[in-house]
Chain A
Amino acid sequence: MESVISIQQLSKTYASGHSALREINLEIRRGEIFALLGPNGAGKTTLISIVCGIVNPGSGQVLVAGHDIVRDYRASRSEIGLVPQELVNDVFETVWATVRFSRGLFGKKPDPAYLEQLLKDLSLWDKRDAKLIELSGGMKRRVMIAKALSHEPSILFLDEPTAGVDVELRRDMWAMVRRLRERGVTIILTTHYIEEAEEMADRIGVIRQGQLILVEDKHTLMQRLGRKELLLQLKQPLAAVPASLAAYQLELLDDGHALRYAYDTQQEQTGIAELLAALASAGIEFKDLKSSESSLEEIFVNLVRNRA
């Protein structure tokens, strides 16, 4: 698939000596939703800021839609809309004035009809003449999204878009992200809410201490690193796992009232049928059984911890 952003050997060390990014290589595909995960201070915002032109790159190269972000910054930046993490606004301006300004700044001719539709989509139209200082936090966040979309970008960066946002706005926002994706907009987001990445993203990148430790299709990642487990509630408690079941590496829980069997989702034979048969022949009865899959959050925590 065609790459819309191509990052090669990108490193960045701040003047303070802090090495924020180390030899990042990343290809973002056109039209995908890419979630960048990582603990605080991992380099997510630095990476986004370099691509958008807010932070000077160290070494390496970044191409946006084939344009070098340094040599051909006009062409590359025209493609990008950015919603930064911090809630920053020109407090004394009206919603309409600030959105119009953003569109002009990105070199687009005024288009009141487009901006009207944009504000309506973001439930901001009624507030168009309100000063930003009068708006609630959630509304200000919507204004920042409107500003980022005012020049019809083909790539949208959302840096922690749902931090401190209420449920309604979060839902609206994800609906909007889906609509944008349908229109072919590429979306790169960072988030702390891993369940959001799990729900929304096509691919996941994990960054830790300035290094990209993993980039994977979400489903592949969850299959590859995810574990499934089967939990059996027993009718009679067991003192120990019988020797005949040793091969299954069962774990005895809940004072012998439950058995846990972990299995690999990638194996063709999960061994469940055999286990159940073995349990029956050992005379162990169960009253309930439940299977569960590890979430992206667990995978993420393991990844970040294992490499620490």
Chain B
Amino acid sequence: MNLQAVRAIYLFELARTWRTLLQSIATPVISTSLYFVVFGSAIGSSMTEVHGVSYGAFIVPGLIMLALLTESISNASFGIYMPRYSGTIYELLSAPVSPLEIVIGYVGAAATKSIILGLVILITARLFVDFEILHPLWMLALLLLTAFSFSLFGFIIGIWADGWEKLQVVPALIVTPLAFLGGSFYSISMLPPLWQTITLFNPVVYLINAFRWSFFGVADVDVGVSLAMMAGFLTICLGVVSWMFRSGYRLKN
């Protein structure tokens, strides 16, 4: 294992976060705070409790997940797309590093960033609404699992994309709608029966519900199913990345 290389990639990627601190951390924190002000305080004060939890608190896990998904994807996709775009990828390809080491470096750095972000949003949320975390260890485990899975997914997008547009398409046109429609702001039980069934095909529902369960002990779907779905998604992503490196897909001729 070339640990020096993993360390070099990881630190190099994290250094970019510090350089763009305002964009990396402040922007998502401000936008999430706006959600709390609008949905939590303004609208939430006239809403009834959901599953025995105040509306303001109810949306906290969903908002953290929303930020975690989008940021993990954008961090990781940008991280690997940038050297491909600029041409500096030659160095990565000519270095004595294995695909696994490259993935650990890039995905690890992207996941670290989004985990820090998720925790910052959690602390920010606590300033606006009152809540307790019922299963803190599960909460952390789910945070980690989601950050890594979606950073890996972002990494795949970063290799697949052959232009800036494609880099934006998946997060903007697929992930954000799925996250919004995945019960970030509502319980599935609030939907008409037909839409409840349709919603169950949205994978993000399982993520948000498992995460919400770690906070409040209540969820719309079975937590076991959620975990199985997440493990399945992670496995698929690992398989795709492994194939990409073996075939040299969009990396090597």
Contact = CB atoms under 8 A, between A and B. Distances in A.
Nearest to B16: A92
17 contacts: A52-B90, A53-B93, A55-B252, A56-B248, A74-B98, A77-B94, A77-B96, A80-B94, A86-B87, A89-B86, A90-B82, A90-B83, A90-B86, A97-B12, A97-B15, A104-B4, A107-B97
Nearest to A76: B96
A78 B96 CA distance: 6
Contact of B91 (A14, A15, A105): A105
A277 interface: no
A15 B8 CA distance: 33
A53 B4 contact: no
B252 A108 contact: no
A15 B253 CA distance: 8
B interface residue count range (under 10 / 10 to 19 / 20 to 34 / 35 or more): 20 to 34
A102 interface: yes
Given A88-B87, A88-B88, A92-B19, A106 B95 contact: yes
Contacts of A89: 86, 88
Indicate the size class of the contact surface on chain A: 35 or more
A55 B89 CA distance: 12
Contacts of B15: 97
B7 interface: yes
What are the nearest 4 A-B pairs in CB distance? A104-B8, A88-B87, A74-B96, A77-B96
A76 B12 CA distance: 24
B88 A90 contact: yes
A307 interface: no
Interface centre among B4, B11, B15 (most CB of A within 10 A): B4
Nearest to A73: B96
Contact of A101 (B8, B93, B248, B252): B8
Contact of B93 (A54, A74, A78, A86): A54
Contact of A88 (B2, B8, B16, B86): B86
B92 interface: yes
Given A54-B90, A75-B96, A88-B90, 11 more contacts: A55-B252, A73-B96, A82-B90, A82-B94, A103-B8, A104-B5, A105-B91, A105-B95, A106-B5, A106-B95, A107-B95
Given A88-B86, A97-B15, A101-B12, A107 B93 contact: no
Contacts of A213: none
A73 B98 CA distance: 9
B130 to A, nearest CB: 42
A74 B253 contact: no
Interface string A41-79: 000000000001111100000000000000001111110
Interface string B64-104: 00000000000000000011001110111111111000000
B86 A91 contact: yes
A52 B92 CA distance: 11
Contacts of A106: 4-5, 95-96
B86 A53 contact: no
Nearest to B253: A55
